[in-house]
Amino acid sequence: MRKYVPKDNVQGKSYYTDRFWVAPRVPREEVSDAHFTGVVATLGALAKEAHVELGQLIVHIDARDNIAVIKALKEVCGYTQCSEQSAVDYLAKDGEFELFYQLLNVNEAKRTRVVCRIKKGEAIESIVPLFNSANFAEREMFDMFGIKVNNHPFLKRILMPDDWEGHPLLKTYPLHGDEFASWYEVDKIFGKEYRDIIGPENRDPAKVDRHDTKRFARIGYEVPFGTDISEGETQKEIEYSETLLVNYNKKESKTLDKRR
């Protein structure tokens, strides 16, 4: 029987799996720090769950409250910088995206991560009115995951071309690109009618074409040593470059003070 390959997550997977292996967890601590306790108290019921993981506060919230929470963090708790904003694809497992906002309090040198989850196809409200740094970050999230951001000033693809199809960081998107990606440049530069002549783009650097004897060894067509493999072709002399070898290996080793 052929091995089952899940279609909803085509990312790299461990070849060796042990079904009795239970992965340990990074310890989640109670919120005990004075500053973090204040943050959780300020958010009140808006924070569904809060814990400290590796020194940073993680607050889980409802995705609809994201503006209210981040506004409170900015205006009351002094989180004046949004360092990063992005998403994690949990579509295969839960049918949801996990979004996170990484915030920094410059005065107290504290970091808080606001985490919320949205279902597939749902949109999130933009936090650009609060943090302009989210402008590019939310565009990147839209580009990479296809998550729509409501009221974003300029929601457009940022890293991929405008006419690209598919969202590369989804777990369903293969590493070497999909069907669209392999024809994108051929279609765009030459036109669809040239597809047969040029062929799809090969994005796999490790690909070995066993019939290509120019660049690769005769994989699959190996013959005993000394067998004639010319197949009737006459051997051409290889032309080498005329450049003389330069002797870089001078006796003296390089030292800084002698190289003035």
Partner 1 sequence: MQVANKLSPFFENLNFERDDNTMVINFGPQHPSAHGQLRLVLELDGEQVVKAYPDIGYLHRGIEKMAENMTYNEFLPTTDRLDYIASTSNNYAYALAVEKLLGIEAPRRAQVIRTMLLELNRVISHLFFIATHALDVGAMSVFLYAFREREFGMDLMEDYCGARLTHSAVRIGGVPLDLPANWLENLATFCDKVEYELEHTYEALLTENRIWKMRLEDVGVISAEDALNWGCTGPMLRGSGVKYDIRKEEPYELYAELDFDVPVSDRCDSYGRYRLYMEEMKQSVRIMRQLIPMYGQTEPQLMAHAPKYISATKEDIMTQNYALMQHFVLVTQGMRPPKGEVYVPTESPKGELGFYIKSEGEPYAYRLKCRAPSFFHTGLLQKLLVGTYIADVVTIIGTTNIVFGEVDR
The residues that touch partner 1, with contacts defined as CB under 8 A, are 11-16, 21, 23-26, 53-54, 56, 58, 80-84, 86, 88-89, 100, 102, 106, 109, 111, 113, 131-133, 135-137, 140, 144, 157-162, 168-169, 173, 175, 188-191, 254-257, 259
Q: How far is the CB of 239 from partner 1 (least distance, A)?
A: 31
- Asked if residue 59 lies in contact with residue 100, where contact means CB atoms within 8 angstroms, the answer is no
Q: Give dist(CA 47, CA 58) in Å, integer.
A: 10
Please, where are the H alpha helices in 111-255? 134-145, 179-189, 195-198
Q: Which residue, 161 or 232, is less far from partner 1 as judged by CB?
A: 161
Nearest-10 Cα torsion for 225, 227, 229, 230: 130
Q: Which is nearer to partner 1, 56 or 182 (CB)?
A: 56
Distance CA 57, CA 55 (A): 7
How far apart are CB 113 and partner 1 at their closest, in Å?
Answer: 6
Quote the least distance from Cβ 86 to partner 1, whole Å: 5
> Nearest to residue 112, comparing CAs of 24, 64, 43?
43
Nearer to partner 1, 21 or 240 (CB): 21
Shortest Å, Cβ 122 to partner 1:
19
Minimum CB separation of residue 166 from partner 1 in Å reads 12
Burial class for 33, CB neighbours closer than 10 Å (0-12, 13-18, 19+): middle
Q: How far apart are CA 40 and CA 4, in angstroms?
A: 45
